[in-house]
Amino acid sequence: MRRHGELRYLEEIEVQPVKVLITGGAGFVGARLARTLLANGRIAGESIDELVLADQFTPPRDLLAHSRVRALTGTLIEQSAKLRDEAFDTVFHLAAAVSAECEADFDLGMRSNLDSTRALLQALRAAGNTPRFIFSSSAAVFGPDPGLPMPPVIRADTLPTPQSSYGIQKFICEQLVADYTRKGFIDGRNVRLMTVVVRPGRPNGAASGFFSGIVREPLNGQAAICPVAPETRVALASPARTVQGIIAVAEASRQALGGRIALNLPALTVTVAEILDALEAVAGAQARALVRFEPNPAIARLVSGWPAVFDNSRARSLGLEPDPDFHSIVRAFLADRAAEPTLLC
């Protein structure tokens, strides 16, 4: 009888599929993360049996067509009630309203970023299997408070004083993830993304969108507007390095992560002028000539409040390095576009 019981137990273990959830899975970073996970086939040493993409929008067709992908379409608050009945092994929580939206509509930001995250965390707590939970926070948690000038270099222990509702909401969610982790409801990890450049497609309402636009549009032969001065600095990362960082944080042991405070992904610091120099070096003077400077004080105020220089040593201890230079980012965008033109327009 005892041996029979053991066999049954082993059978039950074997039939539990490894399930991964990506919220915001139809977005650019979410879809790229999904493709990378499907190509790897594994996460933290385990084969991925099912990849669930939750989003307000339908995922790209290549992902929808994949045999291991299931799409959940609707708001995260609606979906969270159903997610209580599913045991995910790993959850990547990328869904969010972006910075300019949250600044224009305070209640939308609170609902989309704070209430949705709480609903998701409560669903995972109810499911009861302590999944790895990777929360995509943002470098936008940092900003210069009237009483606290921003340090020249952002370190792991720099106090964030967010100067946007988006940054506040991200920082609040980091706190929730830390406490849900401490309580044993999830195995949470907060990872702060840098500005992702070059994003494909159309501008998405983020105040940082032009950093991609001033490269992407000229490479497509179109004019682009730069709303900030050429000397404006930005801490950025390519889509590939961003996804690599998110996965590394998901796969790291808790000991390697070193505590519950958020990990700043490695950042390449460049000026707008250096971005345009790289554009010109790769695509010629006629590409650069398509960029016109047209100052937008609202965007300039937001962007100038973001930190531009990060101490990358904690990320480096996880094996993560910033992009080497902006030239490589332009070339990678062109290579991606050549390989998968339908995914990038």
Active site residues: 166
Cβ of residue 191: shortest distance to a copy of itself, in angstroms? 14
Query: Which parts of 159-178 interact with a copy of itself (CB under 8 A)?
Result: 159-163, 165, 168, 171-172, 175-176, 178
Cβ of residue 205: shortest distance to a copy of itself, in angstroms? 19
Q: Is 147 in the site for a copy of itself (CB under 8 A)?
A: yes
**Gyration radius of the chain's alpha carbons:** 21
Q: Which member of 120, 124, 247, 257 binds a copy of itself (CB under 8 A)? A: 257
Cβ of residue 119: shortest distance to a copy of itself, in angstroms? 12
**Per-residue binding letters, 88-107, with a copy of itself (x by CB under 8 A):** ------------------x-
Q: Is 146 in the site for a copy of itself (CB under 8 A)?
A: yes
Q: Which is nearer to a copy of itself, 255 or 342 (CB)?
A: 255
Nearest alpha-carbon partner for 168 in 114, 235, 105, 121: 114
Q: Which residues contact 194 (CB under 8 A, 6 or more apart)?
A: 139, 235, 236, 237, 242, 264, 265, 266, 267, 268, 310
**Per-residue binding letters, 191-230, with a copy of itself (x by CB under 8 A):** ----------------------------------------
CB neighbours of residue 67 within 10 Å: 6
Query: Which parts of 175-194 interact with a copy of itself (CB under 8 A)?
Result: 175-176, 178-179, 182-183
Q: Which residues contact 5 (CB under 8 A, 6 or more apart)?
A: none
Q: Which is nearer to a copy of itself, 229 or 261 (CB)?
A: 261
For tokens 């930005």, the residue is 234
Cα(244)–Cα(217) distance, integer angstroms? 25
Q: Which member of 259, 284, 295, 341 binds a copy of itself (CB under 8 A)? A: 259
- The enclosing H or E element of 158 equals none
For tokens 């920082």, the residue is 171
Give the count of alpha carbons within 13 A of 292, CB side only.
5
- Provide the token pair at 276: 């345009």
CB neighbours of residue 42 within 10 Å: 11
Cβ of residue 141: shortest distance to a copy of itself, in angstroms? 10
Nearest alpha-carbon partner for 54 in 65, 70, 42, 38: 70
> Where does this chain bind a copy of itself (CB under 8 A)?
106, 145-148, 156-163, 165, 168, 171-172, 175-176, 178-179, 182-183, 254, 257-261
